[in-house]
Structure 1
Amino acid sequence: MTTTPATPSSFQALVRLLRYARGYRRRILAASACSIINKLFDIAPEILIGVAIDVVVNQEASFVARLGFTSAQEQIFILAILTFFIWAGESLFEYLYKILWRNLAQRLQADMRLDTYEHAQRLDMAFFESKSSGQLVATMNDDINQLERFLDGGANALIQVGVTVVAVGAVFFVISPLIALLAFTPIPLIVWGAFYFQRKAGPLYADVREKVGDLASRLANNLAGIATIKSFTSEAREAARLREVSEAYVEANRRAIQVSSAFIPVIRMAILAGFLATFTVGGMLALRGELNVGAYGVLVFLTQRLLWPLTGLAEVIDLFERAMASTRRILDLLAVPIRVRDDASAPLAEPLRGAVSFAGVSFRYAQGGGGVEDISLEVPAGHTLALVGATGSGKSTLIKLLLRFYDPDAGGIRIDGQAIDAVSLASLRGAIGLVSQDVYLFEGTVRDNIAYGKPEAEEAEVIEAARTAEAWSFIQALPQGLDTPVGERGVRLSGGQRQRLSLARALLKDPPILVLDEATSAVDNETEAAIQRSLARIGHGRTVIMIAHRLSTIVHADEIVVIEGGRVTERGTHATLLAADGRYAAQWRVQTGALLAAAEGATPSA
């Protein structure tokens, strides 16, 4: 038997939200004050109606006459003036509270979205490897929009319900404590019902928010993989999978709606009991002369003003529960601890030479295992280090540790003798140019993507970087040259073109350290040759760390390091490793033998 885990109280989420929004305290107080004043003006006309009835019935003996206005005509005129100012005041403060709440909602949602995004950017890569992008997008977009909808109208409705109960209750007890007790009898039931349905609806709406994230993840993954879906003619299967996730969202909403919808009928019956009590008992007292006719009118009108708005409490609670479920997800994201701290403000000392050292570095991934164990490497400034090994051996892990995507469990990494955790992340990452196998281009132009790391670059600098990366020839052939849109993730360019733009992007930074993580593994021979020519030019005076499966691309490296199972097993130059006849030499024979076989197969027979 499974049990549903308890969700934190919605009121706890509200307290957390108020703590987060303490910088908006003045705006919240101003908006709340306008809501309160508007509601006080809103219930005043019902009181004036009762007073007007009293004037018509009792004339010179009316309540208003006791204030010094003796004639009935004068009393009616005074009531008309009061009515005008009350309606004007109600309209003014309705305008003010709407402006204040809506602007607060817009400002808070914009700031909260930016805060969550900036916080997420500072989280280590392990967080992103454990979370789907769809869930994160749903939290930063849909959940924050849900909170905005509550602040737009729900917050004001909750405040005004409370003001109505207090203000009308005070009038009731002044006029007739007996009728006040009878009219207020349903309110405990209404409040109990609100809390009861809130407890029932809270977990259901938390489930709704999770289903929204699942749906967003499925859509994002499918749209990103549309080419694969088409190539395997899996459109129908993926549509069915999306339908399954969508139906799960519909079902989660159905369960929540079923609970929240049951609230209104219960409240209506409670309201009817309170209204009938006021109507009958008050009428009997008025007939016996124990209650002023005008006062009876006030009580009847105010009973409706008190109780009927409570029918809208169900909708407000529904909105509140959705907003608090979203708030929990937003604040939980903001509460994720930042493990790779950027506490240092000192930059890397100039001039940067680019010497890199790994000293006894060990690291294990929290999920899935893998990593590196006690690795020590020295890369002198201006030298080229090549890392080779099977997939999952730990090569890319070293690069991630160098860039401080993670911090090592043991050991340390230094650049020019400075510990990388003792300098700012901006300085560290600014000194390293990364070109990875999985090239990511941003939606925009060719120029935008090359200049991504240096937006202020002059056009001449952009062109020079493109020339160095051997990308300028194909850029010139594009319809709009540097201003050609690349499409989402660079979809309008070939794999080789994307790779060369990625290299140009890294070169424009002019970093002292260049890291190539399988940069030529997914390109054709022509593109690989072009990149090799580029590397031959840019490698002088620059530290280059290469990860490669194609051993032909690293034969000129100053040192080649073979990593297996997270440990260094061989190291040396290409010639010394071949002479050692170990794993590197065996792999070299496999690759060159395959190349020779391919070449022989392509040679026509005599």
Structure 2
Amino acid sequence: MSSNRQHTSSFVALGRLLRYARGYRRRIIAATTCSIINKLFDIAPEILIGVAIDVVVNQEESFVAGLGFETAQEQITVLAALTFFIWAGESLFEYLFQVLWRNLAQRLQSDLRQDAYEHAQRLDMSFFESTSSGQLVATMNDDVNQLERFLDGGANAMIQVGVTVVAVGAVFFVLSPLIALLAFTPIPLIIWGAFYFQRKAGPLYADVREKVGDLSSRLANNLGGIATIKSFTAEQRESERLKQASEAYVQANARAIRISSAFIPVIRMAILAGFLATFTVGGMMALEGSLNVGAYGVLVFLTQRLLWPLTGLAEVIDLFERAMASTRRILDLLAEPVNVRDQAGTSLAQPVRGEVSFNNVEFRYGSSGAGVHGISLDVPAGHTLALVGATGSGKSTLIKLLLRFYDPERGEIRIDGQPIREVSLKSLRDAIGLVSQDVYLFEGSIRDNLAYGKPGASEEEIIEAAKTAEAWSFISALPEGLDTAVGERGVRLSGGQRQRLSLARALLKDPPILVLDEATSAVDNETEAAIQRSLSRIGHNRTVIMIAHRLSTIVEADTIAVVENGRVIEQGDHQSLLARQGAYHAQWQVQTGQVLAHTTD
């Protein structure tokens, strides 16, 4: 989200928001109408006070007498009835605009958050690799809440200030054009001041929103890595780093507050000039008899009604600027392009056999330039392909391309002869079960996590998958069994237990293609042996693609491909690769200790 976007006009952001909210047009019109009517009722009592003064002073010659009410008592009674209905109307429409604006704020913030989240889910993995989770959480939570706060009160306040200026201005020009000109003299200065402060405050509040995202990122990272912090006794260091991020947020707010706080003192003096002009000139005119005493009272009261609410522009502008800074971030997230396009409605031909082919596939990461170059591999249905090679050689990249986390720049990937670009992402990913080295378990029970890929699975199916993955032995030993809570990210379970649950979760999905991305690299020997036994059972009639550092786990693979610097340099089965005495043979000797033994001999 670039700085030039952040510093675009707040009114441009408002226009973008209104375009997004076009489905809420009727609600916005209804809420705005109630705000306008409420404000008209709100300023009416000041007019009635002036009319009442006119009745008391002029009695049978008053303005109300001209409407057919001859005695002063009748006129006062009429004014009292009007006052009752005006106050009742004001109360009614205040209730209505409060309900309408607040419900609109709730509905709009909920839909914005949902749309932002759903759009984020469609974004490419490259977006998440370049954007911190803290910034995203701040956008979907804090920024959306900031917009809600503006809609709760700020939108109504802006509308009512505008209505006040127009309605009171109309009354002024009817009663005394001269005093109207005097009273309105400060308004251009007030409006200019509002826009001046808006231009000054806009970039400052954009910076405030950025600092909120930075602070959220720091908190999320530290809480997620609390074990590492404790192990390195880095609590004080991390507290200091958090303090620095928090202080940066405080300073960014302080700069914005200095600008917004200067608005009221400046505007207050402009308002005083307008009020004194009305008070003095109008009083002189009333004394000379050129202005009705009741009209003078109306003008004095309405001058306050006209000018004093403008001091509230500072708070309204403050809310507006914060909301528009947040709106830019939300709408910029919604505007992020989705490069991996979904071909909804087109599915893989059923049943999926699981034949996978990589045809001259090329891809490189923009940030590092690493990737894969001209890789071609064929995996017949029901066969096992093992990918081996050094870290960063491109093995995991092939898996990401198969799952369409990215699309290759050249070449294509096919399943059962169908290019995966031409089928829906759901159809593609439903056919693939992924077991990654970095196991992610959601907070909830073991049952919830196992059934994640098949929400309607029966208990029998869940238990069978757990048994196949050799996870049932430890699950059944737990006091609450399948209903045991795993904790956030599965922290209550060991690494080996999490890995077995990940395998069981993939097996319950029963995919024709199973992908194991270094699934045994971070587990103990017992868990590795258990997973190997599971694979020997589940590999039949299923295509398996494995990434492994431990060559002992892939000796039974039908095909082993050695990847180096993004290229396949060798492929074959275990025995043929050993006989070739190339890169695989050298790696096998290192892992089995044959090189060391040979050197010792």
Cα displacement (A) at 1:344: 3.7
Q: How far apart are the structure 2 equivalents of 1:368 and 1:10?
A: 36
- Written as runs of structure 1 = structure 2, the 5 A alignment for 1:552-567 is 552-567=552-567
Q: Report the equivalent of 2:271.
A: 271
Q: Report the equivalent of 1:74.
A: 74
What amino acid maps onto 2:161 in structure 1? V
Q: Report the equivalent of 1:158.
A: 158
1:101-143 per-position Cα deviation (integer Å, ceiling 9, x unaligned): 0000000000000000000000000000000000000000000
- Written as runs of structure 1 = structure 2, the 5 A alignment for 1:132-147 is 132-147=132-147
Contact kept, 8 Å, 2:6 with 2:325, in 1: the verdict is no
Q: Report the equivalent of 2:287.
A: 287
What amino acid maps onto 2:298 in structure 1? V
1:562-587 per-position Cα deviation (integer Å, ceiling 9, x unaligned): 00010010000000000000111000
Q: Report the equivalent of 1:103.
A: 103
CA distance change for structure 1 residues 4 and 248 in 2, over 3 Å: closer, same or farther? Answer: farther
What amino acid maps onto 1:156 in structure 2? N
Q: How far apart are the structure 1 equivalents of 2:368 and 2:116?
A: 27
Cα displacement (A) at 1:479: 1.9
**Other structure's SS at 1:516 match:** strand
Identity percentage of aligned residues: 82
Cα displacement (A) at 1:6: 7.4
Q: Report the equivalent of 2:432.
A: 432
Q: How far apart are the structure 2 equivalents of 1:324 and 1:468?
A: 54
**Other structure's SS at 1:452 match:** helix
Q: How far apart are the structure 2 equivalents of 1:133 and 1:298?
A: 58
1:324-381 per-position Cα deviation (integer Å, ceiling 9, x unaligned): 0000000000000100011341111111110000001000111112110011100000
Q: How far apart are the structure 2 equivalents of 1:437 and 1:237?
A: 30
1:48-71 per-position Cα deviation (integer Å, ceiling 9, x unaligned): 000000000000000000011111
Q: Report the equivalent of 1:148.
A: 148
Q: How far apart are the structure 2 equivalents of 1:539 and 1:189?
A: 78
CA distance change for structure 1 residues 540 and 334 in 2, over 3 Å: closer, same or farther? Answer: same
Q: Report the equivalent of 1:584.
A: 584
Q: Report the equivalent of 1:195.
A: 195
Contact kept, 8 Å, 1:344 with 1:421, in 2: the verdict is no
Contact kept, 8 Å, 1:286 with 1:293, in 2: the verdict is yes
Question: Does 2:533 align with 1:533?
Answer: yes
What amino acid maps onto 2:531 in structure 1? I
CA distance change for structure 1 residues 595 and 296 in 2, over 3 Å: closer, same or farther? Answer: farther
**Other structure's SS at 1:338 match:** coil
Q: Report the equivalent of 1:86.
A: 86
Cα displacement (A) at 1:179: 0.2
**Other structure's SS at 2:515 match:** strand
- Written as runs of structure 1 = structure 2, the 5 A alignment for 1:161-180 is 161-180=161-180
Q: Report the equivalent of 2:513.
A: 513
CA distance change for structure 1 residues 130 and 384 in 2, over 3 Å: closer, same or farther? Answer: same
Q: Report the equivalent of 1:44.
A: 44
Cα displacement (A) at 1:594: 7.6
Q: How far apart are the structure 1 equivalents of 2:168 and 2:479?
A: 72
Q: How far apart are the structure 1 equivalents of 2:88 and 2:439?
A: 62
What amino acid maps onto 2:234 in structure 1? S
Question: Does 2:367 align with 1:354?
Answer: no
Q: How many matched pairs? A: 596
What amino acid maps onto 1:319 in structure 2? L
Q: How far apart are the structure 2 equivalents of 1:343 and 1:105?
A: 35
Contact kept, 8 Å, 1:37 with 1:93, in 2: the verdict is yes
Q: How far apart are the structure 2 equivalents of 1:5 and 1:255?
A: 20
Contact kept, 8 Å, 2:6 with 2:329, in 1: the verdict is no
**Other structure's SS at 2:452 match:** coil
1:513-560 per-position Cα deviation (integer Å, ceiling 9, x unaligned): 000000000000000000000000000000000000000000000000
Q: How far apart are the structure 1 equivalents of 2:82 and 2:137?
A: 52
Contact kept, 8 Å, 2:385 with 2:557, in 1: the verdict is yes
**Other structure's SS at 2:435 match:** strand
**Other structure's SS at 1:515 match:** strand
Cα displacement (A) at 1:596: 8.8
Q: Report the equivalent of 1:342.
A: 342
Q: How far apart are the structure 1 equivalents of 2:18 and 2:417?
A: 47
Contact kept, 8 Å, 1:444 with 1:486, in 2: the verdict is yes
What amino acid maps onto 1:165 in structure 2? V
Cα displacement (A) at 1:595: 11
With normalisation by structure 2, the TM-score equals 0.98
What amino acid maps onto 1:98 in structure 2? Q
Q: Report the equivalent of 2:379.
A: 379
Question: Does 2:573 align with 1:573?
Answer: yes
Q: How far apart are the structure 2 equivalents of 1:89 and 1:270?
A: 33
Cα displacement (A) at 1:36: 0.2
Contact kept, 8 Å, 2:5 with 2:328, in 1: the verdict is no
What amino acid maps onto 1:469 in structure 2? A
* Alignment gaps of 5+ in structure 1: 601-606
CA distance change for structure 1 residues 271 and 595 in 2, over 3 Å: closer, same or farther? Answer: farther
Runs of 4 or more, structure 1, over 4 Å off, are 3-6, 594-597
Q: How far apart are the structure 2 equivalents of 1:177 and 1:280?
A: 15
With normalisation by structure 1, the TM-score equals 0.97
Q: How far apart are the structure 2 equivalents of 1:331 and 1:150?
A: 16
* Alignment gaps of 5+ in structure 2: none
Q: Report the equivalent of 1:60.
A: 60
- Written as runs of structure 1 = structure 2, the 5 A alignment for 1:480-491 is 480-491=480-491
Q: How far apart are the structure 1 equivalents of 2:524 and 2:45?
A: 81
Q: Report the equivalent of 1:249.
A: 249
Q: How far apart are the structure 1 equivalents of 2:343 and 2:22?
A: 25
Cα displacement (A) at 1:4: 9.2
Contact kept, 8 Å, 1:344 with 1:422, in 2: the verdict is no
What amino acid maps onto 1:200 in structure 2? K
Q: How far apart are the structure 2 equivalents of 1:368 and 1:260?
A: 44
CA distance change for structure 1 residues 216 and 154 in 2, over 3 Å: closer, same or farther? Answer: same
What amino acid maps onto 1:455 in structure 2? P
1:467-492 per-position Cα deviation (integer Å, ceiling 9, x unaligned): 00000000011121000000000000
Q: Report the equivalent of 1:604.
A: none
Q: Report the equivalent of 2:474.
A: 474
**Other structure's SS at 1:451 match:** helix
What amino acid maps onto 1:262 in structure 2? A
Q: Report the equivalent of 1:603.
A: none
Q: Report the equivalent of 2:183.
A: 183
What amino acid maps onto 1:367 in structure 2? S
**Other structure's SS at 1:413 match:** strand
Q: How far apart are the structure 1 equivalents of 2:583 and 2:376?
A: 20
Q: How far apart are the structure 2 equivalents of 1:94 and 1:71?
A: 35
Cα displacement (A) at 1:243: 0.3
